């Protein structure tokens, strides 16, 4: 099968057949590129196809010029073909044997494919082309994530997944809430007979007495007293019954509402904790690439404040929503059953409110999202400056940091102001609607009463219902903005949860136990966002060999060790350990074989013992001490007031750089890795510390395959082979002495390093 | 190398000389005068792994467990360790006054009543089991061997800081 890059699928270019038609017998496609710009840098599609015999190109499609005509060069006619990128813009240049130049232009979106094409061309010409199908996963992913834009409100629905463990309790909460709502509908219903059957007839009889007995006041007094004592007393008893019913309903509604509140608070606390765990767990699984593109503070804000917002939304608001809907529907039904015309009039402001809600919805949505984003920016400033406080103070930049914070803080205020004006306008508007609604009911009701169509009791009942009804409508409209706010938070969480780790577990993992430590880098290339970092690196490292990586900064040394650790995956080529592609190993199993000592050793807040045992929490005290001894850390640890129980890390005992370094060496020693990655600190330490670290490293390196980014002369001399990297390529390989004699890049770097050390020594000698 | 891994067994002797200094004689018969026992895990495992260090702080020997030693040696060591250590055991928390930038603790300990100030929000450190430790501004530590064994009022005060 001829390999076809994914580019064809992604951009849906010129139809397949027109290319097939161009191919001769025995010719197959090696690489294919669809450029996205024409020579004037306007968007246009143009196809460039590399086969095993020729390079074919079709005139630009979409720019109006050329369209469809194929040009071709036989491989032998091509003197050079290269892809070059600069600032998001790339060019593919073809120089034929006659010295004639042909160009294609493209944006970063397709630059990977362009480089791929150029490389395959070189391979073809050098005869090193291997016909292997290698899907360019990077491209596949970028295209896959593009089409993934779900509507916002869905994000909130998606958190139901986290509610699953609490289903029973949620049902209980819903039932309680419904019962409580139903009970609260009872009181107004009781007021209707209370008025129409009890109070108003009584008043009528009083009026009758007053009208019928025109004679003297004394007789009227007597009759009225009689009425009050007999009829009034019995009616009072009925009133008492009604009032008892009203009280019972109120108390019942209170108890149920309390129960519902308690249940929902409990549930929402669980859901948001679940959400936090899940999000953080997912975050930890994501590859380094994700973190390098994010702000720490923003991620922290997502896990802390966004989940909290959802929690309070769930407990305070969401349950009420169900109750409110039931209340509104229930009220409407009751109103219609009592008097349809009056009900219709009563409900007429409702559509108006719904329309208002609809109107502000979009504004609130974008407003709250903006607020959330800016909040994240603000926390980022904190997460940036607080760990860097020493630098801030050293350069006396407190004021600038304050300004930076104030600026982001102002942006939060500004974003919130904008959205606040919307909803602060909105709520009173709804309240006004309610008042208007009430007036309408009064006006219409009064007319109907006068018209003898309805009784005063019915009107009073209506007014009681309508009061509740609009309180609920108002609450719902308030809730509505809270919903949008929570949805914005949910969206920010889902963004994290939807992120797929770039470094993935293999579908069928190869068994990995304790590896031998034979590392092969086979034609490894790595691009970071289309910027090439490593290019075609070949290296074979024997088990137990020590490799020193040397080169100017930016040469790709760190990238190389990141690839070996599988923090990133190679863009092309493969890394094999003991003959197996490391992408076929389960991640944790593979990494368990790797020990890392970084330039800036990171200590977690905890005891020294915990820090040393970080990679093997179950290690015995003896093993921990043994590792510390080998790392030359034991003696200084014993001098600390709490020995191995001393707290270190943030807020803990402060340790010197050399001490931290040795603790991290002990940490690596304890897991006894087969492969050791060493990123040496460039900073110099005093000679005594240097000696201690050197001895510690000696113990660490012993018998392990080691890749060290080397700065210290002693490390350079000790390495079995040095690998000199320059601009992502290996330029020299060999032992220290050989490379020195060769007088190339390494000799130059080494002499510079030597100079610097002498200068430092001289400096140290001058200062007492 | 100066310090080969010290053996954990008691292949050395320890005694006080005429000037009351602690002297360690190692397996090779070398005498180290004025040595000092150091607990490696004074907080979490106080009775395990006691290192004997020389004057420069280099480890000469390491004892895995105090219980392994013969009573004579053990007494000597514990005596010496006690002389170096000052960790009052908290019997009662009398009161804790919160001020704006620090808190003031008043305790009754096995060494008498004491009060101290601290501005560390993590003044109480929870240890394994129900043990807890307080640390004041100057780094003096106060041990609570069992938080549950404290009286009710003390427990309630402590609760806020755990």
Q: Identify the structural domains of chain A with CATH numbers, from first to last.
A: 7-146 (2.30.29.30), 152-498 (1.20.1560.10)
DSSP helix/strand/coil, A364: helix
- Antiparallel, parallel or unpaired: β A647-648 and A606-607: antiparallel
Q: Do B139 and A641 touch (CB under 8 A)?
A: yes
Task: Note the pLDDT of residue B16.
Answer: 81
* pLDDT score recorded for residue A215: 65
| B42:A626 CB<8 A | no
Residue B71 touches partner A, C-beta closer than 8 Å: no
Q: What is the pLDDT of residue A184?
A: 79
C-alpha triplet A677, A679, A685: angle, nearest 5° = 135
Three-state DSSP class for residue A722 = strand
Q: What's the gap in Å between the CA of B64 and the closest CA on chain A? A: 9
Task: For helices A167-184 and A233-285, give the axis angle rounded to 10 degrees.
Answer: 150
Binary contact (A621, B59; C-beta < 8 A)? no
pLDDT, tens digit, for every residue of B121-145? Answer: 667 888 777 888 888 877 788 889 8
Which positions in chain A have a beta carbon within 8 angstroms of at least one beta carbon in chain B?
607, 609, 621-622, 625-626, 629, 634-639, 641-645, 647, 651, 695
* Locus of tokens 């809270």: A482
Give SS3 for B98.
strand
Nearest to A638 among B1, B43, B51 (CB): B51
Positions in chain A short of pLDDT 50: 1-15, 62-66, 132-151
pLDDT digits (tens, 9 = 90+) for A319-351: 777 777 777 888 888 888 888 888 888 777 778
Question: Considering CB atoms only, which of A625, A636, A651 is closest to B49?
Answer: A625
Across the A:B interface, residue pairs with CB atoms under 8 Å apart total 52
- Smallest CA-to-CA distance from A121 within A179, A86, A175, A74 is with A74
Q: Which residues of A touch B125 (CB under 8 A)?
A: 647
Q: Which two tokens stand for residue A27?
A: 């010719």
Residue of B8, B39, B41 to mutate for A, most A C-beta atoms under 10 A: B41
**B161 inside 8 A of chain A by CB:** no
Helix (H) and strand (E) counts in chain A:
29, 19
What b/e readout covers A449-460, taking b as 16+ CB neighbours within 10 angstroms? eeeeebbbbbbb
- Please classify residue A247 by burial: count the beta carbons closer than 10 Å to its beta carbon, then call 0-12 exposed, 13-18 middle and 19+ buried: exposed
Nearby residues of A588 by Cβ (< 8 Å), 6 or more positions away: none
**Confidence (pLDDT) at A521:** 94
The answer to whether the Cβ–Cβ distance between B40 and A641 falls below 8 Å is no
CB contact under 8 A, B41 and A621: yes
Q: Is B57 close to A639, i.e. CB distance below 8 A? A: yes
A215 three-class SS: coil
Where does A499-586 have alpha helices with state H?
A: 557-564
Mutation for testing the B interface, residue in A613, A623, A633, A642 having most B CBs under 10 Å = A642
Place of tokens 């208007």: A436
Among A63, A68, A57, A59, CA closest to A44: A63
- pLDDT value for A18: 64
Indicate the helix (H) or strand (E) that contains A278. Answer: helix A233-285
Q: Closest residue of A to B50, CA-based? A: A638
Cβ-based neighbours of A767, under 8 Å, separated by 6 or more = none
d(CA A331, CA A337): 10
Q: Is A516 exposed, middle or buried (0-12, 13-18, 19+ CB in 10 A)?
A: middle
Asked if B86 reaches chain A (Cβ–Cβ under 8 Å), the answer is no
Beta strands in B20-123 (DSSP E): 22-25, 31-33, 36-39, 48-53, 59-65, 90-98, 103-109, 112-118
Q: Is B23 on the interface with A (CB under 8 A)?
A: no
Task: With beta carbons under 8 A apart, name residues in chain B contacting A647.
Answer: 125
Q: CB within 8 A of A683, min separation 6: which ones?
A: A657
- Smallest CA–CA distance from B125 into chain A, residue: A647
Interface check for B48 against chain A (CB to CB < 8 A): the answer is yes
Distance from CA of A644 to the nearest CA of B (A): 5
CB contact under 8 A, B5 and A626: yes
pLDDT score recorded for residue A383: 83
Contacting B residues, span 108-137, partner chain A, CB-CB under 8 Å:
122, 125
Does ipTM top 0.95? Answer: no
Q: How far apart are the first and last CA of chain B?
A: 46
Q: Do A607 and B62 touch (CB under 8 A)?
A: no
Q: Do A621 and B40 touch (CB under 8 A)?
A: yes
In the predicted model, residues of chain B with pLDDT beneath 50 are 1-8
């Amino acid at each position: 099968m001829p390999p076809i890059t994914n580019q064809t699928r992604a951009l849906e270019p010129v139809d397949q057949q027109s290319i097939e038609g161009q191919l001769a017998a025995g010719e197959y496609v090696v690489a294919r590129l669809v450029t996205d710009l024409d020579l004037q840098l306007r968007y246009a599609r143009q196809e460039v196809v590399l086969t095993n015999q020729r390079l074919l190109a079709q005139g630009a499609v979409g720019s109006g010029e050329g369209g469809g005509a194929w040009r071709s060069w036989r491989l032998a006619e091509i003197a050079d073909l290269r892809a070059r990128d600069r600032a998001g813009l790339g060019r593919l240049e073809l120089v034929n044997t006659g010295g004639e130049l042909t160009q294609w232009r493209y944006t970063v979106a397709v630059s990977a494919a362009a480089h791929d094409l150029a490389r395959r061309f070189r391979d073809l010409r050098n005869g090193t082309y291997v016909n292997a199908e290698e899907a360019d996963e990077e491209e596949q992913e970028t295209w896959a994530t593009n089409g993934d834009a779900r509507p916002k409100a869905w994000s909130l629905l998606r958190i139901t997944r986290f509610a699953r463990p609490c289903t029973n309790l949620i049902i209980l909460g819903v039932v309680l809430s419904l019962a409580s709502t139903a009970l609260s509908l009872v009181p107004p219903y009781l007021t209707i007979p209370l008025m129409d059957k009890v109070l108003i007839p009584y008043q009528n009889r009083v009026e009758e007495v007053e009208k019928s007995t025109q004679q003297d006041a004394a007789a009227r007094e007597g009759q009225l007293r009689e009425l009050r004592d007999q009829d009034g007393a019995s009616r009072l008893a009925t009133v008492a019954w009604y009032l008892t019913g009203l009280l019972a309903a109120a108390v019942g509604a209170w108890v149920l509402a309390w129960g519902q509140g308690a249940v929902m608070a409990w549930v929402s606390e669980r859901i948001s904790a679940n959400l936090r765990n899940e999000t953080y767990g997912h975050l930890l699984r994501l590859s380094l690439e994700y973190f390098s593109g994010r702000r720490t503070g923003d991620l922290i804000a997502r896990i802390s404040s966004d989940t909290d917002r959802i929690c309070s939304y769930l407990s305070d608001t969401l349950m009420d929503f169900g109750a409110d809907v039931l209340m509104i529907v229930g009220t409407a039904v009751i109103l219609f059953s009592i008097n349809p015309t009056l009900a219709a009039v009563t409900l007429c402001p409702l559509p108006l409110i719904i329309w208002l809600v609809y109107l502000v919805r979009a504004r609130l949505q974008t407003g709250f999202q903006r607020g959330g984003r800016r909040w994240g920016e603000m926390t980022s400033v904190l997460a940036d400056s607080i760990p860097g406080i020493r630098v801030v103070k050293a350069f006396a930049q407190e004021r600038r940091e304050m300004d930076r914070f104030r600026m982001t803080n102002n942006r939060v205020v500004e974003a919130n102001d904008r959205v606040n004006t919307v909803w602060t306008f909105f709520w009173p508007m709804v309240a006004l609607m309610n008042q208007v609604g009430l007036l309408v009911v009064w006006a219409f009701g009064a007319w109907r009463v006068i018209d003898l169509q309805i009784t005063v009791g019915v009107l009073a009942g209506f007014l009681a219902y309508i009061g509740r009804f609009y309180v609920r409508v108002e609450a719902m409209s308030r809730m509505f903005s809270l919903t949008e706010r929570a949805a914005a938070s949910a969206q920010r969480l889902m963004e994290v949860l939807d992120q797929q780790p770039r470094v993935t577990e293999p579908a069928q993992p190869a068994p990995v136990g304790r590896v031998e430590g034979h590392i092969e880098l086979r034609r490894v290339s790595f691009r970071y966002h289309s910027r090439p970092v490593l290019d075609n690196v070949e290296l074979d490292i024997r088990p137990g060999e020590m490799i020193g990586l040397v080169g100017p900064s930016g040469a790709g040394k760190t990238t190389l060790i990141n690839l070996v650790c599988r923090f990133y995956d190679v863009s092309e080529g493969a890394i094999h350990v003991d003959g197996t592609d490391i992408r076929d190993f389960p991640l944790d199993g593979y990494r368990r074989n790797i020990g890392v000592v970084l330039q800036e050793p990171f200590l977690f807040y905890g005891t020294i013992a915990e820090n040393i045992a970080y990679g093997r929490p179950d290690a015995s005290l003896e093993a921990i001490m043994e590792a510390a001894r080998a790392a030359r850390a034991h003696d200084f640890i014993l001098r600390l007031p709490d020995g191995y129980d001393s707290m270190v890390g943030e807020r803990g005992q402060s340790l010197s750089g050399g001490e931290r370094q040795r603790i991290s060496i002990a940490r690596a020693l304890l897991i006894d890795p087969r492969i050791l990655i060493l990123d040496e600190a460039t900073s110099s330490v005093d000679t005594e510390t240097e000696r201690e670290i050197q001895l510690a490293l000696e113990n660490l390196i012993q018998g392990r395959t080691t890749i060290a980014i080397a700065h210290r002369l002693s490390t350079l001399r000790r390495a079995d082979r040095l690998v000199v990297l320059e601009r992502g390529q290996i330029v020299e390989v060999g032992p220290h002495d050989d490379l020195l004699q060769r007088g190339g890049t390494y000799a130059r770097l080494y002499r510079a390093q030597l100079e610097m050390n002498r200068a430092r020594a001289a400096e140290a000698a001058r200062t007492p | 190398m100066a310090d080969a891994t010290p053996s954990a067994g008691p292949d050395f002797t320890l005694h006080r000389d005429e000037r009351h200094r602690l002297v360690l004689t190692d397996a090779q018969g070398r005498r180290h005068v004025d040595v000092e026992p150091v607990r490696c895990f004074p907080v979490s495992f106080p009775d395990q792994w006691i290192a004997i260090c020389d004057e420069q702080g280099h480890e000469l020997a390491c004892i895995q467990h105090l219980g392994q030693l013969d009573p004579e040696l053990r007494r000597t060591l514990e005596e010496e360790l006690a002389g170096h250590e000052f960790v009052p055991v908290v019997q009662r928390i009398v009161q804790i006054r919160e001020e704006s930038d620090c808190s003031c603790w008043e305790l009754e300990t096995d060494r008498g009543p004491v009060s101290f100030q601290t501005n560390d929000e993590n003044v109480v450190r929870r240890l394994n089991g129900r043990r807890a430790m307080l640390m004041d501004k100057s780094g003096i530590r106060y041990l609570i061997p069992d938080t549950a064994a404290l009286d009710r009022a003390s427990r309630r005060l402590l609760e806020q800081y755990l």
